Amino acid sequence: MSAAPTTELATFAGGCFWCIEEIFRQQPGVVKVTSGYTGGTVKDPTYAQVCAGDTGHAEALRIEFDPQKTSYENLLAVFWKAHDPTQLNRQGADVGTQYRSAIFTHSDAQAAAARAALEAENRSGHFARPLVTEIVPAGPFYPAEDYHQLYYQNNKNAPYCRFVIRPKLEKMGLDD
């Protein structure tokens, strides 16, 4: 008999993957965060193809986490705070379906938890507008090119990191 897996997967899209990767990387219980593409129809897409907006893919994060140290529900709570889930197909200046808000579920339990969390957020009054986050089953995930991985860690002094990502980290009380 094989042992149960020690980690689980969560897959979220909340705009540019650079903007939320570091937020999830710093969460307790998160083992690994991979930036990539999912939700579309093109196999092995490139960043240029996804940015052109005709692959159907979203920029997304595949998060490997230890369920003994954090829960999927905790990660959902971070997801709602890490981006604006009321903006359809955009986050700030980034516009297009590749920047949509989406939760790609890996099980029926994740789908139920995501739907319940979305309904609770809509009722909470945290947002002035209804959430537009789509909740769909996870499909193939294609890791982004190497230079997208650990983007903030590798580019802390780049203008985009200083003026877009760092304020998000500070807002969430995380290290920069």
Sheet order of strands, 134-137 included: 134-137, 101-105, 8-14, 58-65, 30-38, 141-143
- List C-alpha distances in Å: 130 to 28, 48, 73, 85, 118: 29, 31, 20, 8, 10
Of 16, 19, 51, 161, the active-site residue reads 16
Active-site annotation holds for 16: yes
Of the candidates 35, 63, 64, the residue with the CA atom closest to the CA atom of residue 50: 35
So which residues are the catalytic ones?
Answer: 16
